[in-house]
A and B are shown apart, each in its own frame.
Chain A
Amino acid sequence: MDRRTVIVEGPLAFRIRRLQAARQHEANIDIMTLPSLAARLAGGFSRSPVPHELFAYVNAALAEGGFADFESLRQLPGMTRALVKTLGTAWLSDASLATLAPQHARLADLARVEERIRAQLPAGVLLPPDLRSAAIANIRHARSLFGEIELHRLTHIAPVWRPLIQALATATRVRWLQPGTDDRGWFPGTIDVGEAPASAPIEVASCADPRAEAVEALRWARELIAARRATPDEIAICSASTHGWDAHVHALASSANLPVHFSHGLRTLSSYDGQACAALADLLLNGLSQERVRRFLRYRRCITGELGTLPPTWDAGISREAALFDLEQWRRALDMATRDNEERTNVRAVLMTALTALSEGIGAARDVGKRVLRGEAFTIWNEALERAPATALEYALQESRFPDGRDPGASIVWCPASHLAAEPRPFVWLLGMNARSWPRRQLENPLVPSHILARHVFDADPVAEQDRRAFRLITGAATGACVLSLSRRSAEGTLLSASPLVKAGSARRSLKRGRIPAHAVSESDRLLARPAEAATTPEIAQAMTCWHAWERPELTAHDGQIRADHPVIMRTLEAVQSASSLRFLIRDPLGFAWRYGLGWRPVAEEAQPLSLDPRAYGELVHELLKRTVDALEPQPGFTRATRHELEQALASARAHIHERWPLERPVPPALLWHHFLDTAEDLALRALTFDETFLAGTRSWTEVAFGVPEADAPSHAADVPWPPTSPVVIPGTDIRLRGSIDRLELTAAGTAVRVSDYKTGALASSAERIALGGGTELQHVVYALAAKQLLPEVQRMFLPGAGPTAVKLDDVDGAIAQLTTHVSTAIQSLRQGFSVPGPDTTVEWNDFRLALPANATVYLARKRRALAAAFGTVTRAWSAP
């Protein structure tokens, strides 16, 4: 039997035709593409350069410089890509750059690039026109090499290959079976048009948006398979460009568990190795940060050398909040984490070596890749680097693809229309039949626009023409079913119109997004179509109950109503309270239950803040005060310390925080951090220095704790006005209180006391007298209560914000009595089970707002009556002066 050679186009046709040959036991057959045929004939190891090699050559050609038009652009990241594309179309169109060069400086530049590429090519690697010429030179071997040549379907033969085929026709028999193009006047061989199949009528489906189109297409495919009307290998879903649909199809096909083959490959970034490269690129492009380092080290399988063998506990002792943005910070953090542990010094050494390399930035991408990556990730990394300069690495990674490993002979195929046109299937669904997306717009070539050279010279097969041809071929060969789908709106919500290829007046089915399909594509699709069944899923049932409960005017479990004397509430009330927890208790019982009962905490904000927020600044000042006082106790004792000793203690407290905080929590950049410490130190010094204007013989303390549980009691017995563990109880209740008074001064006789509160954030209240402020100013009352209970001798009391005159003790008693009433009623209401939203639930600083219905104001208005009834007399506390 004579040997035969079959020429196919595109990856889909290549694999399917090979499969057919195997299935039909064809022998003596070679299946190849036109370029590989040319390479074979040109001899030995000839080939054309593969794309990523071409990128490297173009980069080198650009680096040489000396251009007329390209000089200012040659360093730009997109230039290589644009040149590779332009040269590619020029070569395929068989445009001779050397001949065109005199016409325009731009063309001369292009010719120069081509010349430089040619000079770099290793032996045997030839540009397509040269490969073609080399092949023609060997045409006498064609017959023995290929036997009879059969062009299988080919939809378009680039001008560069036409002379070769004409030459081949003189040496052997060349047939073109079912040509996909009318442009074949030049073809010297036999043409076998074949019988035009009876194509199925075209249906048009109008969908909500691109994703809805993908959903409908997969429902349709599933229905075909389930109804046994078609096998997967007969079904194809395609679009002029797969961009914008790939992610939807990938996600939907995996959740549908349908065999879908991506003939154009999957995005590299959707793989483990791709993500490892992305993590490394992120590190090099954006610098060291704890998050980025952790992200990269998670891809252990892709990391080579000692770094890859680090134990998973490498981060022991490093706080997740620590600000680690440069080598120095890492060095200190690692020093601290590994200080007490001999075994871990190796971890430190390995990490520091790696981090030093990683901190070199994107310029060292190639070296770093070689040192830390291995296997597939290393290959991806190098290919991406060859495709574009290192600075544009993220874009290069985004564009790279890898084969999905599925067999096209047993799968539905999802592909660009051009692949399907070369190997059509009987059941097809065409996505994106909208104006401008099928056919796609013919964009100008940015390097050789039509005002420099007529478009057809460089681009013999424009994209709009390709799309129209693909549409004709695919719909013409669809013998089973053919559905065109279009979106009514784009993913961004703009109105779209139909493609001109959709015949006016053709019947359109309008498919609603929420319609109930005959065949659901996946579990979630099925549940969406069957609300009754979905409602039986525990999660959905719960969500629905919650939704309906929020809509009803009465209080429900979803509004925080729980059983009376709930153990969690009882346990929480038994714990020691603070001014803030009392505020929650009175003004936001729901938040009280969540925060103190269930222990919920908001997640930390950004990892690397530029500034200190007021809360953190307050903590900074208090820690300064506390450290200073602790350093002075018991010797020489805070009250006896000289100004000099005090300043020294403060300075060392500051130095400690300056070093320590960055390792434990996020702090601003160095200079700003320094200035924050300056202002905090000023404030602390003012707070610590004795106020000469107060009565002589007065003693003074800072950070005076009260009500501290025995377990947390400080070890050293400091000179304090009362033992920190002395209990403070709201009279008439079991509520125990704890807290810390910023500063307390007591006259020698012990009859007058001044309590000060260093407001670091918001303005101090200008109240002239002690007040509850509707439950928002509890701190002062709590301090007054503590001072009164723990210092029974006191007859005069000066409170924060109350001005230079003492508040009347009667007023203090009145305020305490009020507090008692309000706390008791609040506890009563809470014990009845009303852990429901109060006035503080919706204030801006309340982190729990997130867990409320989205439009909380409307929600609360709906529940207003029920809430008022539940709170009863508690509401009086909110308006207490």
Chain B
Amino acid sequence: MTELPDADARRRALTDLDATLLVEAAAGTGKTALIAGRLTMLLAHGIPPSAIAAITFTELAASSLTARVHRYVDELLAGDMPATLRLALPNGLSAKQHAALTAAASTLDELTASTIHAFCQRMICSYAVEANIDPGAQVLDATQARAAFDDVFDRWLRRRLGMEADASSPIGTLSRSDPHRLVATLRELARFRLDHRQAAALPADLSGRPDLDFVEAVRDFQRWVASHPPERTTVDLVDQLDELASFYDGALEHMTDFERLWILAHPPSLRCMRRESTDLLTPRTKGAWERAAGKVDGARLHDEAMACFERVHASYRTLRGRLATALVAALSRELDEVLAEYAQFKRRAAVLDFDDLLERAGDLIRGHDAVRRALGRAIGTFSSTSSRTPIRCRPRLCSAYAATNRSMTGMRRAFVPVRSSSSAIRNRRSIASVEPMSPRTRRRAARSSGSGRRM
């Protein structure tokens, strides 16, 4: 049988057990098989199954990886040679390897092949006290967590709108001005906060008087119109903008509360706005100007008018953006309560959701030297840079990416020097590269993950 063009790369991945490697290849090239082969080789090398961890993206990948390792071990012990391992074991198992595999086979279930969540769960279970987690905590699946959160949200909103409701709070204001959409709006915002729980709303910034900028821009436009030949559509537009300008004139002169902000965010509806919206429409007046002032002058005047309009539009957007930011910041503060109550619920009910697993595991590794050292001794080295804790390949730690290259981009960017995948596509059926993780690569990896903090 002729060797595949990438046989050397494959062989290295199977036999260079002491190196930290990065295997990058396109979908369908056999990465999972290769990782399973490497795990089998580690076992044959005498590493106990309990000291190996393989992390995958999905439960399915984890279980198929486990199943494959089991199969390879079974076949090898039965005297067969799995195709993947033929490269590494051209002469079959040595007596020592056979003995090591036989020993490993009886405790093969202690091998960790799991998703990052399951791995984190195991980790924080061992260090519950350090991580300040209930030692009896159970993990909610995505559906249970969503239902629990919605429950907390409902209860919270019911309380905020119940007997002791504060009508002057942002929620009260929102309820008064738009009772029909209140619940949907708040629920959407709450879920958004939950999905991005590390994120906070931008702080409100109403300094610099964006209202004055807008009014000034409108006045400029008016002056321009007054000093040029009239064009009906443009004059009409400026009249409408004048109405808008008087709505916002001096709006931010004093400190504004939520209710005032809410009113400011809902200007009168005008014809120059998009339907069902308060966005301004860009006028299409080129033809009108040409008709009014001739082809040449018309084009120039149109451009000047458009420049005026663009200034108005830009300052209008800035103003509305600032108002919206301030509104969201105020509502977001209200929703802090929901998130706090959800956290409290989880603590009281002794449950964790998926994001907690990653978050707590990250905190654990970042905050506890002793834990980090102990984990390193047990299964390898961790580099903790963000909550999506990337895990490096180390001699006894394999990171298996059974998913396709496309779906791993997110992860890859977190810790792998991003490489154009075109080479992988050219060599569709081959492992694109097996690259050792040199200190330099690691530095790059750390940079691309947004933090240089490493062990």
- A residues with CB within 8 A of B: 69-70, 72-73, 76-79, 81-82, 106, 325-326, 328, 391-392, 394-395, 435-436, 439, 441-444, 446-447, 449-451, 464, 490, 492, 494-500, 504-505, 610-612, 614, 617, 668-672, 675-676, 678-679
Contact = CB atoms under 8 A, between A and B. Distances in A.
Interface in B70-97: 70, 74, 77-78
A441 B110 contact: yes
A78 B128 CA distance: 11
A82 B135 contact: yes
Interface string B173-186: 00110011011100
B105 A500 contact: yes
Nearest to B347: A76
Given A76-B347, A612-B180, 17 more contacts: A73-B129, A76-B135, A77-B349, A78-B137, A106-B129, A392-B348, A435-B108, A435-B109, A444-B126, A446-B129, A490-B63, A610-B154, A612-B179, A669-B157, A671-B162, A671-B165, A672-B182
B109 A499 contact: yes
B161 A76 contact: no
B453 interface: no
Contact of B179 (A442, A495, A672): A672
Among A449, A670, A672, residue most surrounded by chain B Cβ atoms (within 10 Å):
A672
Contact of B60 (A72, A394, A451, A495): A495
A394 B349 CA distance: 9
Interface of B: 59-60, 62-64, 66-67, 70, 74, 77-78, 105-110, 122, 125-129, 132, 134-137, 154, 157-158, 160-163, 165, 167, 172, 175-176, 179-180, 182-184, 347-350, 370-371, 374
B158 A669 contact: yes
B172 A671 contact: yes
A285 B25 CA distance: 53
B120 to A, nearest CB: 14
Nearest to A72: B132
B157 A494 contact: no
A70 B133 CA distance: 11
Nearest to B73: A504
Majority secondary structure, B binding face: helix
A496 B63 CA distance: 6
A497 B70 contact: yes
Nearest to B111: A435
Contact of B157 (A395, A497, A610): A610
Contacts of A495: 60, 63-64, 67
B370 A497 contact: no
B60 A611 contact: no
A500 B107 contact: yes
Contacts of A449: 126-127
Contacts of A392: 348-350
A462 to B, nearest CB: 11
Contact of A76 (B77, B160, B162, B350): B350
A423 to B, nearest CB: 26
Contact of A69 (B67, B126, B129): B129
A661 to B, nearest CB: 15
Given A392-B349, A436-B109, A446-B126, A73 B134 contact: yes
26 contacts: A73-B128, A78-B136, A81-B136, A391-B349, A394-B349, A395-B349, A395-B350, A441-B109, A443-B122, A444-B125, A449-B127, A464-B110, A494-B60, A494-B62, A495-B63, A495-B67, A500-B109, A504-B105, A610-B157, A610-B161, A614-B180, A670-B165, A671-B165, A671-B175, A675-B175, A676-B179
Contacts of A78: 134-137, 350
B175 A672 contact: yes
Nearest to B177: A675
Contacts of A73: 128-129, 132, 134-135
Contacts of B106: 500
Contacts of A505: 74, 78
B129, B134, B348, B350: most-surrounded residue (chain A CB, <10 A): B129
A496 B67 CA distance: 7
A268 to B, nearest CB: 19
Contacts of B176: 675, 678
B348 A391 contact: yes
Interface centre among B63, B127, B157, B348 (most CB of A within 10 A): B63
A449 B127 CA distance: 7
A328 B184 CA distance: 28
Contact of B165 (A439, A669, A679): A669
Contacts of B349: 77, 391-392, 394-395
B23 to A, nearest CB: 23
A127 B175 CA distance: 60
B125 A326 contact: no
A399 to B, nearest CB: 11
Given A500-B105, A669-B162, A446 B125 contact: yes
B109 A446 contact: no
Given A77-B136, A443-B125, A494-B60, A617 B374 contact: no
A855 to B, nearest CB: 24
A346 to B, nearest CB: 29
A702 to B, nearest CB: 23
Question: Top 10 A-B pairs ranked by shortest CB distance?
Answer: A78-B136, A82-B135, A669-B161, A671-B165, A446-B135, A446-B128, A444-B126, A497-B67, A504-B74, A76-B134
Nearest to B166: A671
A615 B371 CA distance: 58
Given A492-B59, A494-B60, A679-B179, A504 B77 contact: yes
B167 A671 contact: yes
B70 A611 contact: no
A611 B182 contact: yes
A678 B70 CA distance: 69
Nearest to A447: B135
A610 B109 contact: no
Contacts of B371: 451
Nearest to A679: B179
Nearest to A70: B129
A610 B158 contact: yes
A794 B187 CA distance: 51
Contact of A670 (B70, B161, B374): B161
A496 B106 CA distance: 17
Contacts of A611: 179-180, 182-184
A617 B134 CA distance: 46
B66 A670 contact: no
A450 B125 CA distance: 12
Contacts of A72: 132
Nearest to B130: A69
A692 to B, nearest CB: 23
A81 B106 CA distance: 32
A497 B64 CA distance: 8
Nearest to B164: A670
Contact of A77 (B160, B180, B350): B350
A142 B12 CA distance: 69
A326 B164 CA distance: 13
Contacts of B350: 76-78, 392, 395
B161 to A, nearest CB: 4
A219 to B, nearest CB: 27
A162 to B, nearest CB: 27
Nearest to B136: A78
Nearest to B371: A451
Contacts of B60: 494-495
